[in-house]
Amino acid sequence: MTEDHLTHYRDGIGTGSARAGLGRPGVAPAPATVARRLSSLYGYATRRRLIAVNPADSVERPKVSTVGTTPARTVEEATALVDGAETISAAYPADAAAVALLSVCAVRVGELVALTVGSVAADAGHMVILFRRKGGKTDRMPIPPRVRALLEPLLADRSPGEPLFVREADRPFDRWRMTTALRRAATAPGVDHTKLTPHTARATAATAALDAGVPLADVQELLGHASPVTTQRYNRGRRKLDSHAAYRMASILGGGA
């Protein structure tokens, strides 16, 4: 295996034309994913001393943007979404609790759908969820009262090993069912349910927290990011939009919009 082989593989993954290493055939993953996959196997082989040199070290990595690309909604929309979750709680209790947990606590959808009834516990006067983060790290997070009120009905008369969030026929939630829950809660005027996804809700929580002055380290902890650089992507994107020169040019030219 040479640098040329890896360069060809990198380009194949980056364009979605590779025959292996793609989550969805024909769909190119994010640059960060390409960069990670380039060296993971050979990094492992190097650590195990199966090879002396990691050939991926010589291959230029795809550039990873410092600005997040997931669009965030406004605080008003996020508030209306949680209000909507409370409105649908009688008819769809699991949907309501999942939307509130996603919107307020900013957990990843994969973390959310993996929760069991036993993941919810009491700790020093708090209700907490115990869960596994991306990368395998175990974490815990306190549940604010508003979310707790929607979560508690899901715990009654259920065994610890049951999935916390279940849909029809007692099947566990998945990311597609989570999108349905979000759209059910998006009932208020002014909340556009199109393109409303679990990651949009997470990005909205991150952006809202940073805009409100929550320290970067605290938002990093909320999101479960290994590096503050990842968290900062949510901050820079909003600032670049709010202070973009296009707005100043419109003002200079007298349009104002």
pLDDT tens-digit readout, 54-71: 666 665 655 555 555 667
Residue range of the domain that includes 128? 75-241
Please write the tens of the pLDDT for every residue from 34-47.
666 666 766 766 78
Q: Which residues, including other chains, have CB under 8 Å from residue 143's CB and lie 6 or more apart? A: 101, 105, 120, 126, 127, 128, 129, 151
Residue 102 shares a structural domain with residue 202: yes
Rounded to two decimals, what is the model's pTM? 0.70
Residue 47 shares a structural domain with residue 110: no
Residue 43 shares a structural domain with residue 88: no
Confidence of residue 184 (pLDDT cuts 50, 70, 90): very high
Scan for tokens 């065994």, then name that residue: 159
Q: Which structure tokens are listed for 219? A: 């938002």
In this prediction, residue 101 carries a pLDDT of 95
Residue 113 shares a structural domain with residue 232: yes
Residue 109 shares a structural domain with residue 43: no
Average pLDDT, integer, range 229-244: 75
Average pLDDT, integer, range 91-98: 96
The amino acid sitting at 90 is A
Residue 95 shares a structural domain with residue 182: yes
In this prediction, residue 87 carries a pLDDT of 94
The span from the CA of 74 to the CA of 133, in Å, is 26
Q: Is 249 part of any domain?
A: no
Nearest CA among 100, 109, 162, 108 for reference residue 127: 100
Residue 201 shares a structural domain with residue 129: yes
Please write the tens of the pLDDT for every residue from 145-162.
999 999 999 999 999 999
The span from the CA of 10 to the CA of 16, in Å, is 10
Q: Is 255 part of any domain?
A: no
Extract the runs of DSSP E, i.e. beta strands, from the chain. 120-123, 126-132, 138-142
Please write the tens of the pLDDT for every residue from 168-178.
888 999 989 99
Q: Is 134 part of any domain?
A: yes
Residue 42 shares a structural domain with residue 151: no
Check which CATH number belongs to the domain holding 90 and give it.
1.10.443.10
Q: Which structure tokens are listed for 49? A: 């001393």
Confidence of residue 193 (pLDDT cuts 50, 70, 90): confident
Q: Is 44 part of any domain?
A: yes
Confidence of residue 114 (pLDDT cuts 50, 70, 90): very high
Average pLDDT, integer, range 100-110: 93
Q: Is 156 part of any domain?
A: yes
Residue 133 shares a structural domain with residue 214: yes
Residue 32 shares a structural domain with residue 97: no
Number of domains in the chain: 2
Residue 23 shares a structural domain with residue 114: no
Average pLDDT, integer, range 125-140: 90
Q: Is 251 part of any domain?
A: no
Q: How many CA atoms lie within 13 A of 112 on its CB side?
A: 31
